[in-house]
């Protein structure tokens, strides 16, 4: 099966978790784009969506799906998003599309986080995909130096400004054996807005090839 076919299959399966009358948290990326197209078919049954990026907002609105501010709706029942990497414990690297901060906020605000991926995203240890870190622009060099001290190799994603007006450092060649610990350390660096490790709050369920993987915790 092609990667796109796998992404679509995962997105279609995730639609089964959408409850009538709810506001759905929606992530960002090519896998989520299939989910949004599916959501359009049931738009009369949901109240609307909270979106994690301008890109997803445009797609949702193009289908006539109402988009709400998270502050206006409170806790969400469900958040559906893709990932760049996923380990056997449903811990993730996200942010390839530079939307990590809003994605993290919506994941945190949601009762259930379903991650939809294709097989290529599965890894034993996170870190083959460069870890995105969103930084306040004036702190870029400061944060980069701190990351080097932690053993990472940060590369500025030049030319990219996030929806929040910030910049991204992609940290290469990091074998992340303690994702929860590293996430905490990165969060403590002054100038970091958020990092793309979703370990303290991993996905609740991961859908791969139409199969749901739940990790007992």
> What residues are designated binding site for substrate?
28-31, 81-84, 94-97, 121
Question: Residue 94 Cβ, how far from ligand 5RP at the closest point, in Å?
Answer: 3
Question: Considering the complex, what minimum distance in angstroms separates the CB of residue 189 from ligand 5RP?
Answer: 20
Identified binder of ligand 5RP from the candidate list 22, 30, 128, 209, rule CB under 6 A:
30
* Number of residues in contact with ligand 5RP under rule CB under 6 A: 17
Residues in 149-208 at the binding interface with ligand 5RP, rule: CB under 6 A: none
**DSSP string for residues in the chain:** --HHHHHHHHHHHHHTTPPTT-EEEE--SHHHHHHHHHHHHTTTTS-EEEESSHHHHHHHHHTT--EE-HHHH-SEEEEEE--SEE-TTS-EE--TTS-HHHHHHHHHTEEEEEEEE-GGGB-SSB-SSPEEEEE-GGGHHHHHHHHHHTT-EEEE-TT---TTS-EEEEEES--BS-HHHHHHHHHTSTTEEEESEE-SS--SEEEETTEEEE---
Catalytic residue chosen out of the listed positions 103, 149, 158, 183: 103
Q: Does residue 99 interact with ligand 5RP by CB under 6 A?
A: yes
Tell whether residue 28 is a contact of ligand 5RP (CB under 6 A): yes
Smallest gap from residue 190 Cβ to ligand 5RP (A):
23
Region binding ligand 5RP by CB under 6 A among candidate stretches 71-79, 80-88, 139-147, 165-173: 80-88
91 binds ligand 5RP (CB under 6 A): no
19 is catalytic: no
**Residue 169: phi, psi to the nearest 5?**
-105, 130
CA dihedral 175, 177, 181, 187 (to 10 degrees): 20
For ligand 5RP, the closer of residues 98 and 143 by Cβ is 98
Q: How far is the CB of 21 from ligand 5RP (least distance, A)?
A: 26
Active site residues: 103
The contact set with ligand 5RP (CB under 6 A) reads: 27-31, 81-84, 94-100, 103
């Amino acid at each position: 099966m092609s990667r796109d076919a796998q992404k679509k299959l995962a997105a279609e399966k995730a639609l089964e978790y959408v409850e009538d009358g709810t506001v759905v948290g929606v992530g960002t990326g090519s896998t989520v784009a299939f989910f949004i197209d599916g959501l359009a078919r049931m738009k009369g049954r949901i109240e609307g969506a909270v979106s994690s990026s301008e890109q997803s907002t445009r797609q949702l609105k193009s289908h006539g799906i109402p988009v709400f501010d998270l502050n206006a709706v409170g806790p969400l029942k469900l958040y559906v998003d893709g990932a760049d990497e996923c380990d056997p414990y449903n811990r993730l690297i996200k942010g390839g599309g530079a939307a990590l901060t809003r994605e993290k906020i919506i994941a945190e605000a949601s009762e259930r986080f379903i991650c939809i991926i294709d097989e290529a995203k599965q890894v034993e240890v996170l870190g083959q995909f460069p870890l995105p870190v969103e930084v306040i622009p004036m702190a870029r060099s400061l944060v980069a130096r701190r990351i080097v001290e932690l053993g990472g190799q940060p590369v500025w994603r030049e030319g990219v400004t996030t929806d929040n007006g910030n910049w991204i450092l992609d940290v290469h060649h990091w074998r992340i054996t303690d994702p929860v610990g590293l996430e905490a350390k990165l969060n403590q660096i002054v100038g970091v807005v958020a990092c793309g490790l979703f370990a303290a709050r991993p996905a609740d369920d991961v859908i791969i090839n139409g199969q749901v993987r739940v990790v007992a915790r």
